[in-house]
Amino acid sequence: MRMHTHQEFEAELRNLKDRLLAMGGRCEQMIGLAVRAFEERDEGLANEVMEADRRMNEDELAVDELAVRILALRQPVGRDLRFAVAAVKASTDLERIGDEAVNIAERAIEMQPADRLSPPGSKLSEMARRAGAMLRDALNALVEEDPRLARDVFSQDDAVDRIYGEVMKLCLEYMKDDPDRIPGGMRICNCAKYLERIADHATNIAEMVIFTVEGRDVRHGRA
């Protein structure tokens, strides 16, 4: 009976990890679609992002329910307990990443088909690619309980922050001489900020890997 119960527990943990990976895959797809919708002024792609966000909300509830079930019925200790707690926090970050993708999609819908993407917007694709890679690595680090990969996510965040700073500078230069450029420039600034927040959420997930494996809370610069 003890072996049977242990096998069930391991299966539940595996299911929890699989659900988190599925959420992460959906998030990564949403990020790509949202940036494409913005670059191409494609309302259809933007609507796909919003539909995916509704499924993301359902995923968050399912992950939280499974994690609470594990905590209540299995009463894990040590590393398993910390992983269950980390899973709940990670699902919240993933849901918020979905929300940021929706924000980008909403900026795309605001644009007119004849609107041209201003030069600073050329940096958004690179930001999206890097933020998506951070998310993928952070989730792999969580399910594989790999603190080395988690710490690599921290260093990747510096590159996203650097590009964000470049976009903001370019947008200010672009808008300062022509008031008609301000609406388009501000939309790009907003999208860059949403992508920077996505990278921050990926970093949050990576921080929970350190908590799970090493039992240390490294949030807010804590050692």
Looking up residue 134, the CATH number of its domain turns out to be: 1.20.58.220
Read off the pLDDT band of 113 (50, 70, 90): low
pLDDT at 2: 46
* pLDDT one-digit tens code per residue, 193-209: 999 999 999 999 999 99
> Which tokens sit at 223?
């050692």
61-70 b/e with 16+ CB inside 10 Å = b? ebbeebbeeb
- List, as one string, the DSSP characters of 34-91: HHHHHHHT-HHHHHHHHHHHHHHHHHHHHHHHHHHHIIIII---HHHHHHHHHHHHHH
pLDDT at 100: 98
* pLDDT one-digit tens code per residue, 133-172: 999 999 999 999 999 999 999 999 999 999 999 999 999 9
Across the chain, what does the average pLDDT equal? 90
State the residue range of the domain holding 52.
2-221
Judge whether residue 3 has pLDDT over 70.
no
- Give the total number of structural domains in the chain: 1
Read off the pLDDT band of 8 (50, 70, 90): confident
* pLDDT one-digit tens code per residue, 25-58: 999 999 999 999 999 989 999 999 999 999 999 9
pLDDT at 222: 43
What single letter denotes the amino acid at residue 172?
Answer: L
User: In terms of pTM, does the model score above 0.85?
Assistant: yes
